[in-house]
Amino acid sequence: MKNQFRSPWDMLLISMTVVISVLLIAVAFFTDSLLTYIISISLITIGIFFGVYGYSLHERNYESFGLAGQKTFPTQKFRTLNLVPTP
C-alpha cells in the first residue's frame, strides 16, 4: 500500500503561485519603489518556503512536508481519517 502522497491541491497551488508571482513582479517592475519590490519578493519567497507539497501516513502519524521541513501530527487527534485512493 502506498503511504506517501502528492498533495491534491499541489497543481492549483503551483498555478496560483505562478500567477500571483508574475503579478507581484510586474507591480514591482512598473513602480519605482524599492519598498514595493522588497515586499513583492518577500511574499513570493515566503509562499514558496511554507508551501505544503506532499504528505504521508506512517503508523499512527500524519506527516506533511515542504521546503520549510516536515511536520508530524498524531492521527489520534483527528476526528475522522478516510483513505480515498485515486487512480
Q: Please report which confidence band the pLDDT of residue 13 belongs to, taking 50, 70 and 90 as the band edges.
A: confident
Residue 73 Rama label (left phi>0; alpha psi -120 to 50; beta): beta
CA torsion angle for 8, 51, 71, 4 (degrees, to 10)?
30
pTM above 0.75, yes or no: no
Has residue 82 been placed in a domain? no
Residue 33 Rama label (left phi>0; alpha psi -120 to 50; beta): beta
Q: Please report which confidence band the pLDDT of residue 55 belongs to, taking 50, 70 and 90 as the band edges.
A: confident
Has residue 32 been placed in a domain? yes
Domain count for the chain = 1
Has residue 86 been placed in a domain? no
Tell me whether strands 52-58 and 69-74 are parallel, antiparallel or unpaired: unpaired
Has residue 87 been placed in a domain? no
Domain that holds residue 18: 4-77
Has residue 54 been placed in a domain? yes
- Quote the pLDDT of residue 3: 64
CA distance 45 to 68: 11
Average pLDDT, the chain: 77
- Quote the pLDDT of residue 47: 78
Has residue 67 been placed in a domain? yes
- Quote the pLDDT of residue 4: 66
